[in-house]
Amino acid sequence: MTATADRPKAKALPKTKPRGRKRTVGDWIVLAFAILIAVMIVFPFIVILINSFKSPADYANGGPLTLPTGLYFDGIVNFWNRVDFPEKLWNSFFISGVVAILAVVVSVMNAFALGIGRVKGRIPLILVFLLANMLPQEVLLYPLYSIFRAVGLYDNVWAVIITFVVIQSAFGTYLLASVFGTFPKEVLEAAALDGAGRWRILWRVIVPISRPTLGVLMVFFFIWTWNEFLIPLTFLISNANQTVPVAISVLQGDRLMDVTTTSASALLGLIPTLIFFLIFQRTLTRGITAGAVK
C-alpha cells in the first residue's frame, strides 16, 4: 500500500512510441478484439444518447436503433421539471461535497494518531476501521433508522452525511494510516526542532506534504457518496431531499414515463458522473491503483 499519488512515475503508461517493429496478424487480431470490447461497452451509452432526443412517435416508427428524425427535447425537459432536477443535483452535490471534506479531515486525524502517533492497540483499531468499511450497510440500516428517527434527523440530509463521513473515513483511515506510517521522519524532526507542537505539525507539515493523496481521497469520497443508493433511499423519503440516483430510480416504471422520457432519465443520471470522469480521469486511474498496489 503506497500513496501512488506522490509518485508521478507510476501514473501513465510507458509513453514509448510504437517501435518500428513489425505488427503481425496476431497483433491486429488482439487490437480488433480490444476495440470490439470497447465498442460493446460504449454501445449502451450511445443508445441512451440517441433515444433521449426522440419523440415517442419517432421511437415507435424507427425503433431504438435509428437516429432521431428531429431533435426533440420534451423528454428531457419533462423529466427535468418533473423531478426538479436542479434540486436533486444540489442535494447530491451538497451531501457528497460535505462528506468528502469532513471524511478527509476525520481520516487525517485518525491516521495521525494511528500512523504517526502509533498509539497502543493500533492494529486492532485499524481492523475495526477496515471492518466498518466492509460491512454490508443492511446490518446498520434498521438501527440507524431508529436512531435518526429518535433524534429527529430522519428525512434530513445530515443523517446521510454523518453516516457516510463515518463509512468513507473508515477507508480513509485504513489507507492513510499506512501512508503516514512511512512519512519521512527527518521532516517531522525538523518541524519539532522549530518548536512546532503536534497540532501544528499535523496541519502545517503533514497535511500540505500529503496533499496529492488527500486530493485523490477527496475525489473518491465525493464520487462514492454520489453513487450511494441504499442509505439515501432509506433515510431521504421526501422528494425535496432526494439525491440524483434515488430520484431517478423511484420514477422508473411510473405510468407517466413514456419510453423516450425513461431514456432521458437515464441520460440525466449519467451526465454528472461522466463530467466527473472527464475532470478527474487522471486522479481516478491513479487513485484506484493506490488502493491495490503494495
Partner 1 sequence: MPTLTPPPAAAPAPPGRRRRPRTGGGIMPFASGRSYWWYLLPGLALITIIVLVPLVWNVYLSFTEYRGIIAPRWIGLDNWTRLFDDERFWMSFRNSIGMVVAMVVVPTLLGLVLAAALFDVVGRKFGGRLASFLRATYYLPQILPSVVAAIVIGWILRPENGALNTILDAVGLGFLANNWLGNPDTALLSIMVVLVWIQIGYPVVIFMAALQRVDPELYEAAELDGAGWFHRFRAITLPMIRPEVFVVALTCTIAALKVFGPVYALTGGGPNNATIVPSYYSYQQFFQSQQVGYGAAIATALTIVIVIVSIVFVWAQNRSERKEQEQ
Residues 88-147, interacting with partner 1 (CB under 8 A): 106-107, 109-110, 112-114, 116-120, 125, 128-129, 131-132, 134-147
Q: Cβ of residue 138: shortest distance to partner 1, in angstroms? A: 4
Nearer to partner 1 among residue 241 and residue 265 (C-beta)? 265
Identify the residue among 76, 104, 157, 167 touching partner 1 (CB under 8 A).
167
Residue 162 lies near partner 1 (rule: CB under 8 A): yes
Q: Cβ of residue 32: shortest distance to partner 1, in angstroms? A: 10
Nearer to partner 1 among residue 87 and residue 192 (C-beta)? 192
Of 33, 67, 37, the C-alpha closest to 51 is: 67
Query: In 144-155, which positions are buried (b, 16+ CB within 10 angstroms) versus exposed (e)?
Result: beeebeeeebbe
Q: Find the binding residues for partner 1 in span 29-48 (CB under 8 A).
A: 30-31, 33-35, 37-38, 41-42, 44-45, 47-48
Phi-psi region of 176 (alpha: psi -120 to 50; beta: other; left: phi over 0): alpha
Residues 200-239, mask of contacts with partner 1 (x by CB under 8 A)? -xx--------------------x--xxxxx--xx-----
Q: Find the binding residues for partner 1 in span 265-284 (CB under 8 A).
A: 265-266, 269-270, 273-274, 276-277, 281, 284
Identify the residue among 76, 170, 179, 236 touching partner 1 (CB under 8 A).
170
Identify the residue among 100, 235, 244, 283 touching partner 1 (CB under 8 A).
244
Nearer to partner 1 among residue 41 and residue 71 (C-beta)? 41
Q: Cβ of residue 74: shortest distance to partner 1, in angstroms? A: 17
Nearer to partner 1 among residue 218 and residue 223 (C-beta)? 223
Q: Find the binding residues for partner 1 in span 3-22 (CB under 8 A).
A: 4, 10, 12-19, 21
Asked if residue 255 lies in contact with residue 82, where contact means CB atoms within 8 angstroms, the answer is no
Binding residues for partner 1, rule CB under 8 A, total 120
Q: Cβ of residue 8: shortest distance to partner 1, in angstroms? A: 13
Q: Cβ of residue 252: shortest distance to partner 1, in angstroms? A: 6
Nearer to partner 1 among residue 162 and residue 215 (C-beta)? 162
Q: Cβ of residue 181: shortest distance to partner 1, in angstroms? A: 8
Nearer to partner 1 among residue 37 and residue 67 (C-beta)? 37
Q: Cβ of residue 240: shortest distance to partner 1, in angstroms? A: 20
Residues belonging to the chain: 294
What's the per-residue H, E or C state across the chain?
Answer: CCCHHHCHHHCCCCCCCCCCCCCCHHHHHHHHHHHHHHHHHHHHHHHHHHHCCCCHHHHHHHCCCCCCCCCCCHHHHHHHHHCCHHHHHHHHHHHHHHHHHHHHHHHHHHHHHHHHCCCCCHHHHHHHHHHHHHCCCHHHHHHHHHHHHHCCCCCCHHHHHHHHHHHHHHHHHHHHHHHHHCCCHHHHHHHHHCCCCHHHHHHHHHHHHCHHHHHHHHHHHHHHHHHCCHHHHHHCCCHHHCCHHHHHHHCCCCCCCCHHHHHHHHHHHHHHHHHHHHHHHHHHHHHHHHHHCC
